[in-house]
Structure formats: structure tokens, C-alpha cells
Structure 1
Amino acid sequence: MAESIRTLRKECLNFTGITAMAIALISPTMTAALIVPLMYSSAGNGSWLAYAFGTVMLLFVALNLTQFAKRSSSAGSMYAYTVMGLGTTAGNVSGWCLIWAYLFIGTAGMTGFTIFASTLLDMMGIHVAQVPLFFLCAAIIWFLGYKDIRLSSGLMLVLEGLSVALILLLCVIVLFSVKSAVDMNQIKLQGTSFSGIALGVVTAIFSLVGFECATAFGEEAMDPLKTIPRAVIVSLLLTGFFFVLVSYTEVLGFIGYKTTLDKVDAPLNVLAEMTSVTWLKAPLSFGAMVSFFSLALSCMNSGARILYPMGKLGVFHRSVGSAHETNETPHVAVSLMAGLILLSSLTLTGVFQLAILDAFNDAGTFGAFGFLGAYFLISFAAPAYLRKRGELSFGALGLAIASAALLLVPAVGSVYPVPAWPVNIFPYIFLAYLAAGFGWFMILQRNPAFIDHIKQRIHAEHARAPMELKVASSPTVKGREKITA
């Protein structure tokens, strides 16, 4: 049977659209609405600094990623980048890491959507069970992802932009309502400790993951070798600055309040009450709801674009790597990803009987392990890739070493001190999942033609580049690096 030559829609996403999807996956609203109190519990008055440190640390990872992104692109690029640098086995591990990450962060998005949708409906005196809301979220994100990626990116830009604008409005109101917007306790890091800020940095890094999803849309991006590297860096820096501002403002706004920030479930609504703008509570809840919806949508689209190339390469059934004839979307991968996110949400709240907020927290923690694994691999893959091209410099090598070393902070922080049950077993569940994926790849690898097929497809797709860039680099023709198993 001949392999389908249908591909995803070419050059349909501009810089703004790709950046919007990356920011939606980072989900600034999620941090402002639910994560800042957790940050304050460890970092206290140093919360803003922990977010600043976390942003700088992940900037090293982002710069490593752009070593690939400015040279080649395809659908699910981060998976392919690891193959190009470290070989097919490491690339397979990276792919499984990213699928895990997008699945569980998408689950956090779906459960978060349900939390705030229920809150809004309760305000109107309407009580709806959470399961119908799960299905509603899954159905809409599936339709948008199945139909047109431009529709998804445009909607995410509007929804996340609306939510962020409302939060920024509240921040401005808070800053103008207090006696002084300059909080010397925060600036002087009053009452903080090194260990507390270090733990806060772990939280900050987990808040900021997701910027790499811009690389997943290489086949659909306009001028991808310029657009995608910019989107990776800009999405990280914008959200990092937003987190510094929001955490500083929330800590400032809670000075003198009867309950400390770390004991509050809905800090934005409390700040709205404290500043006498209770009319903002409903819009803020609506903004949070649509932001979590955007998060689920972005995770589904990004995850589908990891499944899609892995399907084309034969890691999964070939149908997973097919594109819709009319819509030019990875419709099978989109359907699979939407179904898995829905199944995960139902399993956590139904089978394991977790309260929906606990399901949200656990899903987010699970997803973070996948990102860390993929980030570690790309940090090692970048210098290996540049060496194959004869372009490795001391600066690039130092960047890779610094990136890998800095990633040890959240990696160690997630297992030591040993967290309470059941979070203490989460890393081992993730490792068992990776072992299963690795075992499946070992079975496939017994067929030598399978590895040859992966190498040939990765070579072919990443030798392609926008014509003007290909002409500019044609004297070296370095797009055909050796890929090891």
C-alpha cells in the first residue's frame, strides 16, 4: 500500500499565531490564579526573584533549542531535533517525554477549565456535574484542532490575551490602591532563605515550561527558520516578565490581609474584593476558564504534532501520521490526543476519586517530568548536532553544559526532599512509562529497515528549508548529518 503524500497546511501560521500557542501552553493565567500562592509558601517575599531566576535558567534551554530551530524545521521538530543530535533511540525517548508532558498538562487544562466553568455557572445558580464539562471541553478542542490550525491559533490569541489583560488591569488597580507600590520587604527579600528561594525556582520552572511547543509547528509556520526561534524566546521572556510582575503584585496586595497568600485558593478574586472592584470577579473567572481551555487546546495541538511524525515514521500505526485531505490537519493524531486528555481527566477524578483541584495539581506535576526529560535531551543534542555540522563552538558547548546543569535544580528538587505520598512515587511512574516506550522501540528496532526508514525521513524533511535560506547556505550543504541508532 502506497504511503499517503498528504501533508499539513504549509505556511499558514505567522509569528503571532505560533507565539500565541506557546504562551497559551505556558498558561500565564494558571500561574496567576493558582500557582503564585504555592510559590509564596516556599519563596515568600522572594517569589518575584524566583520567577526571574527560573526565566533566566530556562532561557539557556531555549537558546539551545534555537540552535536547531534556526537551521531546520518540520512537524514535531523537537522530537526530530533529538534524533538528529543523539540518534533514533534518544529521539524516541524525547518523543515519549513530550507526549506525556502534553497529555498531562492538557489534563490540567481540562480540569482547570472545569473548575472555573463550575464557578461561573454557580454564580448564575446553575449546577452542572464535572463530567459533562469534561466532554464539552474535549469536543470543542477536538473540533478546532480537527478543522483548522489557524482557527485554533486565532482563538488562543484572543482568549489568552483577554485573560492576561484582565489580570494586568487588576495588577494596575492593586498597585495604585496601596500606600506605596514599592515594597521594600520584597526588594530586600525580608524573611526569605536560600533554600526557600531555591524551592521557589523549581516551582517557577514548572510554571514556565511549554515554550518549546512553538517548534512543533515547523511544517505549518511561515518562514519557520526565523519565526520559530523568535517565538520560542519571546514567549518565554514575555511570560517570565508577567510572572515577576504578578507575583510581586499579589504579595504586595495581601499585606495586612487576615489570611496569608499561601492559604488562599482564589487570590485574584480576593484582590478584587480588597480593592473594591468586585465586578471584576466574574470577568476574572471567565478569563481563567477560557485560558485553561486554551491550555487544553494548545496541548492537544502540540501533542498531536509529536504523534504525527512518530506515526509517519512507523513508531505508531501509520494512520496516526496521516493528514486530512481537505483540512490539512493531523486529524487522527488530534482525535487520539483529545481522547487521551479526556480519558486522563475521567480516570483521575473517576477511577482514582481525586477532588478536581487535586487532579489538576497531580496532572501538572506529572506533566512537568516529561518536559524536564525532553529539555535534558535537547541540551545534549544541540552540541552533538552542531559538531556533526562542523559548527560547534566553545560558546555553544558552554551553553549546553550550563543548560543541563541548571536543569538539575528542578530535577533534584522534585525528588529531594522526598515529597509526601503520592507525589513521591510520581517520578517512578514516569520512569516506568518511559521504560515501556523504550521497550516498544526496541521491539521495532529489531527490523533494520525501520531504523533506516527513520533516518531517511528525518534527513529528507530537515534538508528542506525556505528557498532563500537554502540558497544562502548552499556552499556548505550541511543538512545531511549522520544519525546514529
Structure 2
Amino acid sequence: MLFGFSFMGLTTAFTTYGIAANTSHGVVPGAMIIATMVMMFTAYSYGKMAVAFPSSGSAYVYTQKSLNPAAGFLVGWVILMDYLFMPMVNYLAFGIFFSAAFPAIPNYVWIAGMLILVTFINVRGLKFATSINAFITIFAFLFILIFIGFSIKEIFMEAGTAALLSFEPFFNLNESFTYTIAGAALLCFCFLGFESVTAFSEETVNPKKTIPRAVIIITIGGGLIFTCVSYFSHLIWPNYLTFNNSEAAAYEIIKHVGGKAMYSVYLALYAFAVLGSAMASQASASRVLFTMGRDGQFPKKFFGVLHHKYKTPVNNIMLISCFSLLALFLSLELVASFINFGAFLAYTCVNIAVIAHYYIRKRERSLKGTILYLIIPAIGAALDILLLVNLDVHSKILGASWLLIGCIYLFRLTKGFKEQPPVLKIEDNYDMDLKDRNAYKGNGQTSLT
């Protein structure tokens, strides 16, 4: 849960508020509720597949085992686009924001410093990183509670108790509902990372119960927190057209509510949130690479090995860190455009994998089974496809280019599609109990092997 919340970043509700307000024409809380409902369908499917295949490969493994190895490889390839570029987004945002706040220090110093810190923490292992994430998540949650408390005080002093309850943030009869839907599509970005915890199935005690619960709690919890933040932000600043800068709307709202002191606290929180998100995304990416390397999808001697002491995929962590150095040369807009394409494509395949595994292969075709394993995941897949086709043209072009590169590599790996790509062999580990998993612990941490 800590990794999932850190990957998503609880402060995302602040940083996206102004842009979402413009897109939804001021109905951010209503759009956030719709986004939460949409993501719940996919969260449900991730939970079901985590029960069937408790492996660190996440969407890659689910598709490989339920559909076919080639589809699994391509899903692993596109989800890597998310995991590889998400740390870079954090580094870029951190560099842009803090170089603006402290212009005497160059942008590249902030980027390089955060990158080194994240890499060091992840090399040390999941247990150490979880301790850091616990602090970051608790700090972010406390700040949100303080913000809500100050907001209630501000609203009460200006308009009285009655103003605290309003349906206006959820509905705007003077605007088309299509704006709310557009806002919901944008705000699904806030939830990216809820599925990241499935990459830690092999480092989690009793993953068949723990992982599905964590995925659902992260999605619901994130949705509630994001909705509360956007609701009180709307009450504090109801006219979204009066922001001086929509991208910096959160700063204007926070200053209005708590003054410079709260703004300073938010600066510190933002730094911690970037650290947590970059750390979680880098850790997840390294484990997906490890699983694909262990399978032989990538060279096993490099990607499929662990550090002898920390039991972490150090080679993959260092490779991702080197890749993230591109943040010194690329723009935030270009990098961010990659992310949604890979996410929605992978989410679609996970929903389809539920149908293939449970409804078709296991023949769960009773009334209950039809609802749970056909109708619900089919709705989730349809919603994900809808969001995918409505992405901007840059996202689709860049995403399709990345997918084409993956197809070319797969063509070479399978000798012109004449052979099946290597397949993950984990069936013998599915029913591993707590005693078995404890046998894999090393240096106080659970080993990926």
C-alpha cells in the first residue's frame, strides 16, 4: 500500500487541480469520482489476476499465462514504457520546480541529486525503501488533513457552516457533461501506479490475499483522498477562470488557505512526494525487467540476477538510472506523453486476461461467474480502450512507435515468429505458503528468487 500510494503520489491531486479544472470546466470533484469508478474495474481485474499468478511480472505475466507468450511480451514491453518514463517525469518535474524556486542552482544538479538518492535507496532493498515510503506517505496524508482543516476554517469564517456542504463541485447544469468526462479521462493519470504493487508479489507474505486487497485499498483510498482535496479546493476557489496560472493553481489555493507557512511546508512535501514516486516506479520497473530477464525475454545474465547481499536486481536499477539521465535533455511534455498509452493498453489486456483465464479456461460460467469474470472485466476493458483512443495524437504516435520497436525485437527473438518466446515457469510457486517464503529471506528481506 505504501509503495502504491507513493507511486501515485497523494499530492497529485494538488498538482493536477488547475489543469483538471480547465478541462472539466470547474467540476473536478465530479470528474474525480468518475475516474475512480473507471479505475476500480481495472483494479478488480488486477486483484483477480494477482490471485491466479502471484509473480513479480504483473501485467506481463498475466497476459503471458492467460493469452499467449507473444502478447505477454508486448504487454511487458509497453508497460515498461510507463515504468521507465515515470521516474524521469518525477526527476524533470523536480528539476523544473526547484530550479525555479532556487535559480542559483542549475536544473541538472537537482535532477542528478534526486536520481542518485533514489538509486541508492532502491539498491538497498524493499524493506529499506518501504521505511522511507512510510514516512513520505504519512507526511503527505497529514498535510492533506491540515489543508482540509484550514479549508474548513476559511469557509466557515467567510460563509458559515452551510457552505461546507454543496453539490456544485459535482454537477454543473450550465455546462455539458462531456467536459466532466474529459476531466475524468485526464484525472485517470492520478491513479497510474495503483497496480505497481503487483510487481512485488514475490516479496510479499501471502500475496494471494495481500496483493488484491492492497490494489483495491490503494484505488479506493486514492480516489477518496483526491476527491476530498478537489472538493475543498473548489469550495475555497470556486471560479477556476480566475487563477493566474492554471498549472500553479494549487499553490494559489494553498497560499490562500494557509499563507506562506503552509506553502513552505508544501514545498518540502513536494520534494518528498517526488522522491517516493520516483523510488516506487524505479523499483517496480527493475522487477519487471528482472522477471523478463529470468524468463529469457531479455539476456538472463544481466537482467535476471540479484545482488548477493541486498537481494535486489541491481543491474536493472542501474540501467533504469542511466536511462533516466535522458531527463537532462528531454522535455516534461514529451516524456509525459509516453505514459498513458502504455498504461491503458496494459490495463486493457489485464481485463481481457481475466476473461481468458477464468471465464474461458476455468469455465467459470455460472451467473456469478459470468458477472465476475466476463461482464465486469469486459466493462473495464471497454472503458480503458475508450480512454486509449481519446489520447492526444502525440501520445498515440509515440506509443505506437514504442510498440513497433517491441514487435521488431519480438520478431528477432522468435526468429521471424517461427518460435514462441521464452515462457515464465512459476506454477510450482503459486501455492507457496508462509513457511516456504520465509526460506527465501535473506538479510532481513524477502528474496525475489
TM-score, length-scaled by structure 2: 0.88
Pairing of 1:256-405 with structure 2 (within 5 A): 260-261=242-243, 263-318=245-300, 319-343=302-326, 345-348=327-330, 354=331, 359=332, 361-386=333-358, 387-391=360-364, 393-395=369-371, 396-405=373-382
Q: Which sits farther off after the overlay, 442-451 or 53-62?
A: 442-451
Alignment-derived partner of residue 402 in structure 2: 433
Amino acid at match of 2:59: M
Call closer, same or farther: CA 1:427–1:380 in 2, change over 3 Å: same
Instruction: Tell me if structure 1 keeps the 8 A contact 2:70–2:420.
Output: no
Match of 2:133 among 143, 156, 160: 156
Shift of residue 183 of structure 1?
3.4
Call closer, same or farther: CA 1:414–1:313 in 2, change over 3 Å: same
Backbone CA RMSD of aligned residues:
2.4
Q: Report how many residues are paired.
A: 425
Instruction: Tell me if structure 2 keeps the 8 A contact 1:30–1:292.
Output: no
Call closer, same or farther: CA 1:446–1:144 in 2, change over 3 Å: same
1:20 aligns with 2:2: yes
Counterpart-to-counterpart distance in 2, 1:324 and 1:440: 27
Match of 2:108 among 131, 152, 155: 131
Match of 1:406 among 362, 372, 383: 383
Instruction: Tell me if structure 2 keeps the 8 A contact 1:324–1:330.
Output: yes
Counterpart-to-counterpart distance in 1, 2:134 and 2:37: 25
Call closer, same or farther: CA 1:159–1:338 in 2, change over 3 Å: same
Shift of residue 413 of structure 1?
2.2
Instruction: Tell me if structure 1 keeps the 8 A contact 2:286–2:313.
Output: yes
Match of 1:232 among 215, 219, 227: 215
Counterpart-to-counterpart distance in 2, 1:315 and 1:368: 24
Counterpart-to-counterpart distance in 2, 1:106 and 1:461: 34
1:466 aligns with 2:438: no
Counterpart-to-counterpart distance in 1, 2:244 and 2:77: 34
Match of 2:23 among 24, 42, 58: 42
SS of corresponding position for 1:403: helix
SS of corresponding position for 2:185: helix
Shift of residue 321 of structure 1?
1.1
SS of corresponding position for 2:52: coil
SS of corresponding position for 2:296: coil
Instruction: Tell me if structure 2 keeps the 8 A contact 1:103–1:367.
Output: no
Shift of residue 214 of structure 1?
0.8
Instruction: Tell me if structure 1 keeps the 8 A contact 2:31–2:170.
Output: no
Call closer, same or farther: CA 1:44–1:338 in 2, change over 3 Å: same
Shift of residue 173 of structure 1?
0.6
Call closer, same or farther: CA 1:94–1:264 in 2, change over 3 Å: same
Shift of residue 193 of structure 1?
1.5
Instruction: Tell me if structure 2 keeps the 8 A contact 1:141–1:296.
Output: yes
Call closer, same or farther: CA 1:297–1:184 in 2, change over 3 Å: same
Amino acid at match of 1:435: L
Alignment-derived partner of residue 478 in structure 1: none
Match of 1:185 among 158, 162, 168: 168
Deviations 1:212-231 (A, max 9, x none): 11100011011111111011
Shift of residue 261 of structure 1?
4.1
SS of corresponding position for 1:465: coil
Alignment-derived partner of residue 85 in structure 2: 104
Counterpart-to-counterpart distance in 1, 2:290 and 2:433: 22
Counterpart-to-counterpart distance in 1, 2:417 and 2:180: 50
Amino acid at match of 1:341: S
Pairing of 1:62-73 with structure 2 (within 5 A): 62-73=43-54
Q: Which sits farther off after the overlay, 74-83 or 221-230?
A: 74-83
TM-score, length-scaled by structure 1: 0.82
Call closer, same or farther: CA 1:276–1:202 in 2, change over 3 Å: closer
Alignment-derived partner of residue 170 in structure 1: 147
Counterpart-to-counterpart distance in 2, 1:461 and 1:65: 21
Pairing of 1:416-431 with structure 2 (within 5 A): 424-431=393-400
Counterpart-to-counterpart distance in 2, 1:434 and 1:461: 32
Counterpart-to-counterpart distance in 2, 1:116 and 1:68: 38
Pairing of 1:75-90 with structure 2 (within 5 A): 75-90=56-71
Structure 1 unaligned residues grouped into runs of 5+: 1-18, 349-353, 416-423, 471-485
Instruction: Tell me if structure 2 keeps the 8 A contact 1:114–1:133.
Output: yes
Counterpart-to-counterpart distance in 1, 2:223 and 2:55: 27
Instruction: Tell me if structure 1 keeps the 8 A contact 2:30–2:171.
Output: no
Deviations 1:93-146 (A, max 9, x none): 1101111011222211111222343355x3xxx721011111111111111111
Counterpart-to-counterpart distance in 2, 1:262 and 1:161: 31
Call closer, same or farther: CA 1:23–1:262 in 2, change over 3 Å: farther
Amino acid at match of 1:406: L
Counterpart-to-counterpart distance in 2, 1:39 and 1:462: 44
Amino acid at match of 2:39: L
Deviations 1:244-280 (A, max 9, x none): 11111112211369x6248333333322332353211
Instruction: Tell me if structure 2 keeps the 8 A contact 1:75–1:217.
Output: yes
Instruction: Tell me if structure 1 keeps the 8 A contact 2:28–2:170.
Output: no
Structure 2 unaligned residues grouped into runs of 5+: 438-449
SS of corresponding position for 1:327: coil
Amino acid at match of 1:394: T
Counterpart-to-counterpart distance in 2, 1:448 and 1:301: 31
Instruction: Tell me if structure 2 keeps the 8 A contact 1:21–1:156.
Output: yes
Counterpart-to-counterpart distance in 1, 2:87 and 2:223: 21
1:140 aligns with 2:117: yes
SS of corresponding position for 1:70: helix
